[in-house]
Structure 1
Amino acid sequence: MSTLFTRIIDGEIPGRFVWADDRAVALTTIAPITDGHALVVPRAEVDQLTEADDDLLAHLVVVAKAVGRAQRAAWQAPRAALLVAGFEVPHLHLHVLPAWDESSLAFANARQDVPSAQLDAAAERLRDALRAQGDGARVPAALGSPAL
């Protein structure tokens, strides 16, 4: 059975994609801790961090770095944070988010009631920042598509 993330990547469930390449996607989360909170997800179904091969893990971190750099620029955040928990979905994913302090790192602060228009706007802001930093070739043409 496909994971939730595979179903999103395959277009069965909507997603707000900000990055896509042959090995990974990045999409904004529906329960952000901070505006611009994104998930970097391998296309391959890997259950958790410790099961990923080194090349894939290195690639995910490179993508997370690019996303984090864009988040810092778009939200004028002093830091980009990287969290790996993996309890929500049994498919490896890296949480990347603009951070101002340690409360920006608490999953307990995830907001469940953010209006769709606000989530769309945050995703577009991040997509614009990725383009501005030279990563436009990896920003999908449409917000809801993981295809380039």
Structure 2
Amino acid sequence: MSSIFKKIIDREIPADIVFEDDVCLAFRDIAPQAPVHVLVIPKKEIPSLADLTDDDALIVGHCMVALAKIAAAEGLDDGYNVVINCGEAGGQEVPHLHYHLMGGKKSSHV
């Protein structure tokens, strides 16, 4: 069964897409935790951070560069947070690796 993120990639479910290329897709979170809250997902289905292999290094690096580009496009010049939740106990709700880009307010995260 496909995750909700795979359905967004396949355009089966609509999303407010802010960035897309051959490797990743970024869209606004439907329940934002900050004024800017964008999810960046690799198009390759990787369940979680714990499932990464050496073969995924280029994908992860590409996603990080995309995160920086999206942050700049969103005007987050003063800073932002990038969060990855891993596994159910780590707060991951969708079994597809994703990055939360959050900014637009001062963060209390460490």
Whether 1:59 aligns to 2:53 is no
Provide Cα deviations, 1:77-131, integer angstroms capped at 9, x if missing partner: 621110001411000000001143234x5xxxxxxxxxxxxxxxxxxxxxxxxxx
What is the rounded CA distance, in whole Å, between the counterparts of 1:99 and 1:51 in structure 2?
A: 31
Taking only aligned residues, the RMSD between alpha carbons, in angstroms, comes to 1.6
Q: Normalising by structure 1, what TM-score?
A: 0.63
3-state secondary structure, aligned to 1:102: coil
Partner of 2:99: 94
2:82 corresponds in structure 1 to: 82
Alpha-carbon distance in structure 2 between the residues aligned to 1:58 and 1:3: 23
Tell me the CA shift for residue 68 of structure 1.
Answer: 1.5
Q: Find the aligned partners of 2:83 and 2:43 in 1 and give their Cα distance.
A: 19
Q: Alpha-carbon deviation of 1:38?
A: 0.1
Deviates more, 1:49-58 or 1:7-16: 49-58
1:65/1:98 CA distance change after superposition, 3 Å: same
Secondary structure at 2:36 match in 1: coil
TM-score normalised to the size of structure 2?
0.82
Structure 2 CA distance for aligned equivalents of residues 50 and 79 of structure 1? 27
In the TM superposition, structure 1's runs of 4+ consecutive aligned residues that sit over 6 Å from their partners are none
* Equivalent residue letter for 2:29: T
Letter in 1 for 2:95: P
Match of 1:132 in 2: none
Alignment match, 1:47: 47
Q: Which amino acid aligns with 2:24?
A: A
The number of equivalent residue pairs is: 101
Q: Identity rate of aligned residues, in percent?
A: 34
Mapped to 2, the partners of 1:37 and 1:63 lie a distance apart of 14
Structure 1 segments unaligned to the other structure (5+ residues): 106-148
Q: Greater strand percent: which structure?
A: 2
